[in-house]
Amino acid sequence: MNQTMDPFNIMITVKGAQVDLNIHPQQAGVYKITYHGALLGEVLMGNEGKNWEVMTADELEPGGFPVYEYDETSGHQDMLLDDATVQEIGKQITQVQQG
């Protein structure tokens, strides 16, 4: 397993569009998620190791990142970290970490 702590990119599909997210590994399986340089939230594997869980940017200390706010004029996606999106993000992180 690749134990790198360097940021990496993943691609997910949101509302039919491919979206590139930047993942910043933290300690012990916690990953900050950024989109266009702004913090969306953080994901981590739940206690039972079956589902990924999320903390939104509003629940976190941003740690130097601006918090992502959707602006319909920016051309960026309105990113909601619903369960399906969180599980897809987690699946992509797992694939990268297993290399």
pLDDT in tens, 24-34: 999 888 999 99
Question: Quick one: which of 77, 84, 13, 15 has its CA closest to 43?
Answer: 84
Neighbours of 32 (CB within 10 A): 21
pLDDT in tens, 11-69: 999 888 899 999 999 988 899 999 999 999 999 988 777 899 999 998 988 778 889 88
Rg of the chain taking only CA atoms, in angstroms: 13
Q: pTM for the whole thing?
A: 0.87
- Dist. CA 53–CA 91, nearest whole Å: 12
Phi first, then psi, for residue 29 (nearest 5°) are: 75, 20
